[in-house]
């Protein structure tokens, strides 16, 4: 079991949090848990960790058991040693292993950025387990692939990927400058710096190295449609993902599909747009009767 270096009392999340430690694929992985009820699994993206959901934890925990994971390679979760260990199916199996470790049979995934792509794959691998998927700021992986091929605006928006996928990026990137792209106050910035002191950058950047191993474009393809319903939420001013990238989303689920665009909103919706995002999530969960 990995040593616990995180003091959860330092996180002003507005709820009582408990550590969750579990094993999968030879790794010790970490999450935090709060609340009681049907299970919601929250998955973050880059360059964040479980704490990106601080504004969602309290309202969701009033009705649900909420578990926010650290993806493999981030914060208190262990980092695998090879880039292929960041392939989407392998990371998605971490999510299913977390649900089993919690002694739960079903869950809904709420996910941002990389977590969204992982959520699509988890829903495909665990069709009896994942009852719904809510994504923020990323389309279906196949829709993104089509956008990169056909949409010059999306190719321009994704130009940063090549920098992050460089095998030397974990030593050449300036973490402080990178965190300036996130809307962090001084306290939260310290927490993020502490998280990266635990994990380093090589693990988190493994997602980019893996996804561009055979090309300079993201390779995340989902081999088949998923079965569960999907709510996709996006910000109109997201500098990394264009709204047009969602066009092909509908055909990738056999369940209901709903797209919501938040005007004048950027990429980091859980933090920037909690007042809009939280009611959308709660309304959708109620409509799914979960």
CA-based diameter of the chain, in Å? 48
pLDDT value for 236: 97
**Would you say residue 1 lies in a domain?**
no
Cα 196 to the center of its chain, rounded Å: 17
pLDDT value for 207: 93
**Would you say residue 95 lies in a domain?**
yes
User: How does residue 24 score in pLDDT terms, banded at 50, 70 and 90?
Assistant: very high
- Rounded Cα–Cα distance for residues 74 and 141 (Å): 21
What is the pTM for the complete model shown? 0.94
Q: How does the average pLDDT of the chain come out, rounded?
A: 91
**Would you say residue 255 lies in a domain?**
yes
User: How does residue 167 score in pLDDT terms, banded at 50, 70 and 90?
Assistant: confident
**Would you say residue 2 lies in a domain?**
no
Average pLDDT over residues 80-84: 89
How many domains does the chain divide into?
1
**Would you say residue 24 lies in a domain?**
yes
**Would you say residue 33 lies in a domain?**
yes
**Would you say residue 119 lies in a domain?**
yes
pLDDT value for 2: 44
**Residue 226, Cβ density class (10 Å: 0-12 exposed, 13-18 middle, ≥19 buried):** buried
**Would you say residue 186 lies in a domain?**
yes
Residue 249 has pLDDT above 70, yes or no: no
* CATH code of the domain covering residue 110: 3.40.50.1820
Domain containing residue 244? 8-287
């Amino acid at each position: 079991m990995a040593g616990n270096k995180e003091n959860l009392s330092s996180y002003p999340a507005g709820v009582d949090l408990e550590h969750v430690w579990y094993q999968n694929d030879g790794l010790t992985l970490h999450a935090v848990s709060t609340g009681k009820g049907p299970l919601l699994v929250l998955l973050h993206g880059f360059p964040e960790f479980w704490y990106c959901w601080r504004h969602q934890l309290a309202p969701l925990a009033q009705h649900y058991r909420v578990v926010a994971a650290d993806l493999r390679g981030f914060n208190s979760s262990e980092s695998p040693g090879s880039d292929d260990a960041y392939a989407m199916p392998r990371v998605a199996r971490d999510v299913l292993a977390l649900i089993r470790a919690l002694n739960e049979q079903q869950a809904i995934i709420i996910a941002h950025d990389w977590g969204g792509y992982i959520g699509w794959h988890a829903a495909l691998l665990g069709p009896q387990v994942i009852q719904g998927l809510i994504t923020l700021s990323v389309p279906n992986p196949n829709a993104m692939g089509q956008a990169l091929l056909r949409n010059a605006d999306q190719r321009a928006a994704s130009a940063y990927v090549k920098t992050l996928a460089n095998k030397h990026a974990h030593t050449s990137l300036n973490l402080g400058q990178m965190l300036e792209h996130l809307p962090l106050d001084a306290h939260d910035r310290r927490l993020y710096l502490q998280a990266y002191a635990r994990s380093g950058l090589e693990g988190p950047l493994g997602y980019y190295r893996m996804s561009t191993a055979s090309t300079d474009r993201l390779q995340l393809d989902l081999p088949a449609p998923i079965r569960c319903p999907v709510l996709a939420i996006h910000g109109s001013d997201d500098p990394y993902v264009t709204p047009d990238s969602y066009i092909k989303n509908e055909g990738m689920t056999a369940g209901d599909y709903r797209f919501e665009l938040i005007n004048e909103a950027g990429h980091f919706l859980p933090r920037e747009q909690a007042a809009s995002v939280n009611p959308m999530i709660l309304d959708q969960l109620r409509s799914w009767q979960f």
